Structures are given as C-alpha cells and as structure tokens.
Amino acid sequence: MCIFKTILGVGFIIGGILVEIAWLGACFGTVIVGVVLLIVAPSILLAPFNFGLVGGLALMASCDEY
C-alpha cells in the first residue's frame, strides 16, 4: 500500500507541474492578464503547483510503513 501511495503522490506532483506550465502559458499568453496578476496577486501564479505539491506530499507522508 505504501508503494501505491508513493507512486500516486509522485503522480500528483508531476501533474501539478504540468498544470502549472499550462497555467503560466495561459496567463502570459494573454499579456495583459499576466501583467495584472504579477502586480495584483503574484501568489495566484503558483497556485496549481502548490495544490499538486501539497496533495502529493500528503499522500507520501501518510505512509505508515517504516
């Protein structure tokens, strides 16, 4: 079960990275939106990666085998 959770956690992290690349492409593809986000709310630019990272790390940390 621990190996499954680790593989699933790594999948969440990789998925978060891929979604982050797509999100940054969408934001800076429309230059005005990218600039406004940089000025008004820069933390939103990293939000998809944070969700994937937190979910993946939580799954890997919930492994009860040592």
Instruction: Name the pTM for this structure.
Output: 0.79
Nearest one of 28, 57, 30 to 45, comparing CA atoms: 28
Burial class (CB in 10 A: 0-12, 13-18, 19+), 24: middle
pLDDT in tens, 48-65: 888 888 989 998 888 876
Residue 17 pLDDT: 92
Sign of CA dihedral 12, 18, 23, 24: positive
**Mean of per-residue pLDDT scores for the chain:** 87
Ranges of H-type helices in the chain: 2-29, 31-40, 47-61
Residue 34 pLDDT: 84
